Chain A
Amino acid sequence: MKPATGRAALPILLIEDEPSVTAFLRAALERSGYSVVPASSGAAGLELLESGEFRGVISDIRMPGSVNGAEVHAWIQGHRPELRSRIILISGDTANPETQGFLERSGTPCIEKPFRVQKFISLVEETFGEP
């Protein structure tokens, strides 16, 4: 485990395809004192993950394109073990049984859209630590 101070300086990787959602999340996070690197797709997120260091990853589950949130989660489990418990997932709907099963198995924290900013920030603080 690396010292918190070192990791605390790192940005949060935000993978979200919806620009308006990305904009509001980025604003909320930055206002709370976090730095953010956005990625507009799962594939773009993975590219950043391969080269960069992040404090944690926030990813939408359902995204268009070849890589979705579950796959990002799986990739991290295999390639970036230090980020294993530093993932927050955002779901648009939890009705999908696949999503349900995945969430139950992984135990990864998840927040359902739409949500209040306060609730989101407290989950981020809980998972990644205060800024």
Chain B
Amino acid sequence: MELALDATRSPHVGEFLEKFVARTARLMNAQGAAAAIFRGPEIESLAAHGRLDGGTAHQEALRRGLQTALEKGAEEIRTARAATAFGKEAARTLGLNGAKLTLAQFDGNDAAPLGIVCLAREEPELSWEDRRLLRALVSHASLTLENFRRFSQLERSRKQWVEDIDAISDYIVVHDRAWRIVRMNRSLASHIGAPPSALVGQPMSRLDALVNSPARVPCPLCREVERSHEEYVQASMKRLFLVSTSRIGGPHDEDLRTIHVLKDITDRREAERRYRELFDSIQEGLFFATPDGRFLDVNDAMVRMLGYAGREELLQADVRDHLYLAPENRLRFLRAVESRGVLRNYEEPLRRKDGSILHTLQNITAVRDAEGNVTQIRGLMLDVTEQKTFQAQLQRERDFNQKILNTTRSMIFVLDTAGLVSYANRRCFEAGYREEELIGARLVDWVHAPQRADFEAALETTAHGVQVDNLELPIRRSDGSTGHFSVSLSPMRDEQNAVNSIVVVMTDITDAAILQAKLAHAEKMATIGQLVSGVAHEVNNPLAAILGFTDLLLESTDVSAPAKTQLQIILQEAQRTKDIVQDLLSFARQRPARRELVQLNTVLRQTLKLRTYDFSSHGVEVSVSLESGLAPVMGDAQQLQQVFLNILNNAYDAIQEAHRRGRIEIRTEQRGASVELTFSDNGTGITEPSRIFDPFFTTKGAGKGTGLGLSICYGIVRAHGGEIQCWNRAPSEGSVFLVRLPAASEAAAAAGVEGRR
């Protein structure tokens, strides 16, 4: 048999066709017979017998001829010339020139014929019986072919199905009610290591090893056999399967089929596990949330950040109102997500479970549905509380430092190592310096010229890393006046510990210096007092003897009259010495002063009375302006009178020296808690106002004064808790003395306290 048949189709068709042509040729008394079955225009199967059988070329011609004959079509059975039916070419190749052929068609259910059969007979014309026989043969064959075709289709689709399920990588096994394998796909079979056909009919327990099942159950994959569907995850030694089971019932109980599909989800699970691990191990908070504010999933970091005990607690908690500090914050966030879709470094303070504040930085992505509505919000959240706190602390510190720099009464400069100003605090500008004259300028230029070398030396020292403290320098103020400044220089170092700038703090201590001078003066006065007291005592002894013996001699009758005249001179000079010493002593005298309420206006009037005669006789005009209701002071009226008298005497002397019409103005005034008395004269003024209260300092001619008067005044006023100052008015316009005494407290004034001796 040379007729090739497509094995994949129906091997039975070819066989049938062979038999059919042989049998038909015999029954129809034909020398040759051939038949072809078509599938569409193509010949599916071909069979030839007798003189129509032959070699390859012959077979080809036969194919063409039969194809041509089918195309021409015609009635059910016909007789035609071979050249007409097959075409000349085919007819010649087949050696059928001039011969007549009998042709019949196989009819199928469809309109198209299934195939064609042709007979080569000696007697081409068919008798009625022949015709009836041929029709019967062809009709029977048509039926058979139709069946073959159906069967083949069935076979094909079965094969297709097997191929299809074999192509599935998931494991598929079907078993019947008796737990026997009905089908199994190739991937499962190859996993087990046997061809599928070898496994069909085997018990399901063959698969025990697949899922590590103990061999006690009839099917290692069936769990709840009552259910038509079940799905669960089954772990084996190494793999993880998702087992999906379907149970399909047939018309009979016996037809029940159980189909197990095992999906290997090991890799998926692994991927999921890794993803989860990454999700949870990440230090940033990750979350999935719905737009209405529910968390769908959060990682551990997120749970930790928000201070919840666990993921479940956070997922179940309704945090919408708690999380945001204000509802409008949440709305603002949602609006931003809605409009922008992606938020980068979105800053939002959130509230932890315990109420404390968490500062976050968020990166948000919105997930939208087909309509563009946000369905999910995914985000990454950073805890920046520490940074915020640190930042805030830094800010506070900076503010604090700024405040210090701005509110200190000292001027603070930063100089580079060359001594140029690179920074000056606000105080500098308040003090009147202008920025453009300070920044970049040499600070040394503000130092009083003779002391610049000192400042330069201090700069040099500081540049070498040594602090210089309390350097006292005269510095030019912005108004051009010179003030006394305390200057401290500190080195400022860079990371390498090298001095890269110098901080200079300058404090105007002019007032403090004055105070210091006053204190020094007071101290000097006390020392002088002690000294004077000692000297007076020492002088008094010899003086007592001189005065005493002079007295005795003057009383003596043995002394001549001229000698007594000289003794009288000794007596006078001794007397004068005594007065000087007395003056010294009253300066040094430290007897406790009386402390009683004193009306200064009264004391002043009494004092003036003492000098009225002198003043009027020498043409000195005295104008008095006393504030009525002046508060009393606590003090010693007699001492204060001494003070006023001293000042008046001083003024009187100055006027005498000036040789002009004298004028003294006296004024009392209440100034806050103090009472002020001013004595202005138009005398010569004071040569050195700063020394006027020093003991023994006098500008008066010899014999006119000890120079102790104003020192005594100073001591008395200080002892009263007050102060005494003096200054010159405009040049040669005289001087002013100011006595300031603290007013007696109201309580003391009310009680009318009497001082005791």
Question: Which A residues have a C-beta under 8 Å from some C-beta of B?
Answer: 18, 20-21, 23-25, 27-28, 31, 62, 92-97, 100, 112-118, 120
Contacts and interface: CB of A to CB of B under 8 A. Distances in A.
Nearest to A31: B552
B536 A25 contact: no
A18 B544 CA distance: 10
A92 B545 CA distance: 12
A24 B552 contact: yes
B543 interface: yes
Nearest to A17: B541
Contact of B544 (A27, A95, A97, A113): A113
Contact of A95 (B551, B574, B588, B592): B588
A18 B545 contact: yes
B533 A93 contact: yes
Contacts of A92: 536-538, 540-541
A24 B578 CA distance: 17
B547 A115 contact: yes
B226 to A, nearest CB: 123
Interface in B558-611: 574, 578, 585, 588-592
B591 A23 contact: no
Interface string B539-558: 01111111111011001000
Contacts of B543: 113-114
24 contacts: A18-B544, A18-B545, A21-B544, A23-B545, A24-B544, A28-B551, A92-B538, A92-B540, A93-B533, A93-B537, A93-B588, A94-B589, A94-B591, A95-B585, A95-B588, A95-B589, A97-B592, A114-B546, A114-B547, A114-B548, A116-B547, A117-B548, A117-B555, A120-B548
Nearest to A23: B545
Contacts of A118: 551
Given A95-B589, A100-B591, A114-B578, A24 B533 contact: no
Nearest to B571: A116
A64 to B, nearest CB: 12
Nearest to B535: A93
Contacts of A117: 548, 551-552, 555
Given A28-B548, A28-B552, A118-B551, A21 B590 contact: no
6 nearest A-B residue pairs (beta carbon)? A24-B548, A20-B545, A117-B551, A92-B537, A113-B544, A114-B544
A85 B416 CA distance: 83
Nearest to A115: B544
Contacts of B585: 93-95
Nearest to B530: A95
Contacts of A94: 585, 589, 591
A20 B545 CA distance: 6
A95 B544 CA distance: 17
Interface of B: 529, 533, 536-538, 540-549, 551-552, 555, 574, 578, 585, 588-592
Contacts of A112: 540
A120 to B, nearest CB: 8
Given A18-B541, A21-B548, A27-B552, 12 more contacts: A24-B549, A24-B552, A92-B538, A93-B537, A93-B588, A96-B533, A113-B543, A114-B543, A114-B548, A114-B578, A115-B547, A116-B551
A115 B571 CA distance: 11
Contacts of B529: 95
B545 A21 contact: yes
A66 to B, nearest CB: 19
Contacts of B578: 114
A113 B543 CA distance: 8
Contacts of B588: 93, 95
A85 to B, nearest CB: 23
B572 to A, nearest CB: 13
Residue picked from B540, B578, B591, most chain A C-beta under 10 Å: B540
Contacts of A116: 547, 551
A55 to B, nearest CB: 21
A20 B547 CA distance: 11
Nearest to B550: A117
B540 A95 contact: no
A24 B545 contact: yes
A62 B574 CA distance: 22
A20 B541 contact: yes
Contacts of A97: 590-592
B545 A62 contact: no
A18 B574 CA distance: 18
Contacts of A62: 537
Contacts of B545: 18, 20-21, 23-24
B754 to A, nearest CB: 18
Contacts of A27: 549, 552
A92 B552 CA distance: 20
B548 A25 contact: yes
Contacts of A23: 545
A95 B552 CA distance: 28
Contacts of A100: 591
Nearest to A112: B540
A117 B547 CA distance: 8
B317 to A, nearest CB: 85
Nearest to B588: A95
Contact of A21 (B536, B541, B552, B574): B541
A47 B748 CA distance: 53
Interface centre among B541, B544, B592 (most CB of A within 10 A): B544
A17 B399 CA distance: 75
Contacts of A120: 548
Nearest to A96: B533
- Which of B545, B578, B592 has the most C-beta atoms of chain A within 10 angstroms of its own C-beta? B545
A122 to B, nearest CB: 13
Nearest to B549: A24
B731 to A, nearest CB: 40
Nearest to A93: B537
A121 B578 CA distance: 19
Contacts of B549: 24, 27
Nearest to A22: B545
A21 B543 CA distance: 9
A114 B574 contact: yes
B584 to A, nearest CB: 9
Contacts of B592: 97
Contact of B540 (A24, A25, A28, A93): A93
